[in-house]
Structure formats: structure tokens, C-alpha cells
Amino acid sequence: MATSDGGDGNEVLALVAAAEGDSEHPLAQAIVHAARDRSLRLGRADSFEALPGHGALAQVHGRRLAIGNAPS
């Protein structure tokens, strides 16, 4: 897994886990757990907007994230 700008999978996982850190959603908790299992350093989201049934938009460390289902 890689980001569009060449980042690696652990970087993606850490960013998404930071965004999902306060979520009670089972998938979000699994993401955070996986990041902690890899001993990744997790930050906090600067902003977060839940999109019920679709995912979330967030900003972490100045990077904008779209997390969830692909639009149909």
C-alpha cells in the first residue's frame, strides 16, 4: 500500500489511525489496534467530519484524508 505521493503503508495506517482515534466504529477501532500493534506513533486529527454510511473526512498533520467507501 502506498500514498499518491509515495508514502508507505505504515504512514497511511498511522494517518488513518490518528483520524479514527476517537471513533467507536468497529472498523476504526481495528485500524487503531493495527497501528498500535505495529508500534506506530499516532497523532491527533486537526479536524474530523463523519459522513454517515460513507466514511469520514479528516486532516492530520496538515494532510487531508478521505476515509471510507468509494463513491458509486
Grid cell listed for 31: 485500524
What gap in Å lies between CA 28 and CA 26, rounded to an integer? 5
Q: In CATH, what is the architecture of 9-68?
A: 3-Layer(aba) Sandwich (3.40)
Helices H / strands E in the chain, number of each: 2, 3
From first to last of its 72 residues, the chain has per-residue pLDDT tens of: 556 666 688 999 999 999 999 888 899 999 999 999 999 999 899 999 988 888 899 999 999 999 987 666
pTM of the model: 0.82
Radius of gyration of the chain from its Cα atoms, rounded to whole angstroms: 11
Buried-state track 27-47, b at ≥16 Cβ within 10 A, e below 16: ebeebbeebeeeebebeebee
